[in-house]
Amino acid sequence: MSLCRLIYSSYAKPNLEYHDLRAIMEASERNNKQDGITGMLCYGDSMFLQILEGDRRAVSHTYHRIAADNRHYAPELIECSPIEGRLFTAWAMRAVNLIDLAADRGKHLILKYSGSMTFKPAAMSPSQCLNFMQELHELQQMENPASL
Ligand code: FAD
């Protein structure tokens, strides 16, 4: 098995609602567990940033399925590279809505890794995206270990 990590960003469809995010999460948890895929999905300022880790073929199939989903558009591949090990082993897929983080923590994290407080993952480098997601992962675990 050849492990890889794929990072992409996309624009959420206009008027994406909470139930859309829930449906995405439910399908992700169900499918990713079965396919051995782990990672993280972040939503903020009408944009998605997602990391998928797992067997290269499984990650590739999943990405193509996701890219065809009309709940978002203009997916942009930020990185796809071989890895020695996973960084997000605990979750089949955890979604974080930046607006749910307390005390503007999401905004501060965005500012740490980009030029403004607006979440624009397509303007971030692969390592900025990865560091951002790792810190978000830690923040989310501290703040809200069991939620969406
Ligand atoms: P189904 O059981 O067919 O559908 C699950 C639910 O989603 C149902 O309520 C269905 O009505 C609804 N749904 C399915 N497709 C669409 C659509 N195109 N438009 C509107 N509603 C729809 N899937 C994963 O497996 N893993 C992921 O990590 C993952 N990440 C995603 C990230 C983003 C940003 C988006 C937008 C989607 C993601 N998805 C992910 C969902 C993926 O695009 C497919 O919808 C899903 O994999 C289909 O799986 P299924 O056939 O088991 O779902």
Q: Is 72 in the pocket of ligand 1 (CB under 6 A)?
A: yes
Q: Is 41 in the pocket of ligand 1 (CB under 6 A)?
A: yes
Q: Is 137 in the pocket of ligand 1 (CB under 6 A)?
A: no
Q: Other CB atoms closer than 10 Å to residue 71's CB: what's the count?
A: 15
Per-residue pLDDT of the chain (148 residues; tens, 9 = 90+): 799 999 999 999 999 998 999 999 999 989 999 999 999 999 999 999 999 999 999 999 999 999 999 999 999 999 999 999 999 987 777 888 888 776 678 888 888 998 888 899 999 999 999 999 999 988 887 776 554 4
Distance from C-alpha of 100 to C-alpha of 82, rounded to nearest angstrom? 32
Q: Whose C-alpha lies nearest to ligand 1, atom 20?
A: 71
pTM above 0.85, yes or no: yes
Q: Is 94 in the pocket of ligand 1 (CB under 6 A)?
A: no
